[in-house]
Structures are given as C-alpha cells and as structure tokens.
C-alpha cells in the first residue's frame, strides 16, 4: 500500500490537514506544528496543494514548507507566502494531530517526531528547519512569512471543527454554503483516498479480468 507523507488529520474530528512544518523553528520546547486545513482552501488552491503533496518533490521533502516555498499557485502567487498572508497556516499542538500515510495507519505527530528524533540521535527541536532563509534561492523570509508571526490559534473554521466532532449549525440554526462546501471538500478528500486504497487492495487480491462478450446468435 502506497504511503503519502505530510498528510494528517485532527484527532478531534478527523478533519484533513497537510503538515507544512512538523516542528515550528525556534519554538522551545517544541509543542506545535503548522498545518493547512484543506477544506478551507479555494478549489484551485486545494488542487495545486494536493498535487504538490503527492508529487515527487513533496514526497522527497522532510518538511513540506520547503516545497511550498518554491511552488506557485494557479494565479502565480507563491504558495507559502499566500497561505501565510491569508491565515491558512495554522499553529496546532502536535498532540492534536495524527499522521495518516495510508488508510490503515494513524500515528500521532508527537509520537512520530519522537521516533524520528531518536533514530537521528537528536532532539525534537533539532528536527525544525534552522533558517527559513535557506529555502530555495529567490525566496526570502519576507516573502515566505516569518514562522514566529504565524497565528497561534486556528482560524474560526478550524476552532469550530476542533470543538465538535461533527458539523454543527451556528446559533441561528442555519448552515451557510461555505460551511457545507468545507464539509463536502473534507469528506471528498477522505473518501477519494479510501476508494483509491481499496481499489489497489482489490487488484492485489484479484486482478481485474476483462469479460469476453459472446456473440449473439443471429436468426
């Protein structure tokens, strides 16, 4: 079963997130990660993000933020800079995130970071990118946004989802189109991954065989 790096979900509600920074540089002791809630993105930004995560550059990078810093969105904007300036990069405790490399595996980000740090013989803080200015040439800290300036709390959509395991109507009892769209995108992401994995498993068990059509007898 193929595994995909940088993909996770919030433990409280299973909402899908992409982990940009598994460890926030300069945070000591390290407690939080910077993630992108995929359901809050515009469709065009969402598609570029997912394609980038699943591509070779995304899967070979230790921190996905490195790839974001050299990736352009459909309108030409830098992905890391845009997501920072629009508040899409959210600081979430590692203990509230679990990584889901495939549909059968889930491991806490805090646990995963500890395992990697132990294997490398370093501390969890040492896993952080040392200097954002060391990102690809032409990308500066001003363009990418200082990590220390990232929001310390999730935006309203993330907070609402973190406090309830299911989508709930606001006080007036009415769900907006934006609420429903965010929920549908999140569900679509999850179902797509599950369906893809199940098809792969089915093919491994019994490969698809094209049925031969028999010629009908003619009178």
Q: List, for residues 103-154, the tens digit of each pLDDT value.
A: 888 999 999 999 999 998 999 999 987 644 444 445 443 333 334 334 444 4
| C-beta of residue 11 within 8 angstroms of C-beta of residue 19 | no
DSSP 213: P
Which value, to the nearest 10 degrees, does the dihedral of the CA atoms of residues 60, 66, 68, 69 take? -140
Q: What does the pLDDT look like over 140-154, one tens digit per residue?
A: 433 333 343 344 444
pLDDT, mean over the chain:
76
Q: What angle do CA 92, 97, 101 make, to 5 degrees?
A: 135
Could you give the C-alpha distances from 179 to 41, 182, 187, in angstroms and in order?
Answer: 12, 5, 12
The average pLDDT across 28-32 equals: 92
Instruction: Say which range, 20-24, 100-104, 192-196, has the weakest mean pLDDT.
Output: 192-196
Angstrom distance (rounded) from CA 198 to CA 82: 35
pTM for the whole structure: 0.62
The average pLDDT across 39-59 equals: 94
């Amino acid at each position: 079963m193929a595994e995909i790096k940088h993909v996770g979900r919030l433990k409280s509600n299973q909402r899908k997130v992409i982990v940009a920074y598994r460890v926030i540089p300069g945070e000591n002791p390290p407690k939080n990660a910077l993630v992108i809630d995929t359901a809050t993105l515009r469709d065009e930004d969402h598609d570029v993000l997912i394609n980038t995560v699943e591509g070779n550059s995304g899967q070979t990078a230790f921190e996905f933020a490195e790839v974001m810093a050299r990736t352009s969105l459909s309108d030409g904007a830098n992905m890391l800079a845009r997501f920072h300036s629009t508040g899409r990069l959210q600081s979430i405790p590692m203990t509230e995130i679990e990584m889901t490399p495939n549909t059968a595996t889930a491991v806490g980000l805090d646990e995963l970071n500890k395992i990697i740090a132990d294997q490398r013989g370093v501390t969890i803080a040492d896993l952080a990118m040392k200097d954002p200015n060391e990102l690809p040439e032409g990308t500066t800290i001003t363009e990418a946004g200082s990590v220390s300036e990232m929001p310390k709390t999730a935006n309203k959509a993330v907070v609402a989802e973190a406090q309830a395991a299911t989508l709930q109507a606001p006080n007036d009892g009415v769900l907006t189109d934006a609420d429903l769209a965010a929920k549908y995108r999140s569900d679509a992401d999850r179902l797509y991954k599950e369906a893809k994995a199940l098809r792969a498993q089915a093919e491994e068990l019994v490969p698809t065989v094209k049925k031969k059509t028999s010629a009908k007898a003619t009178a």
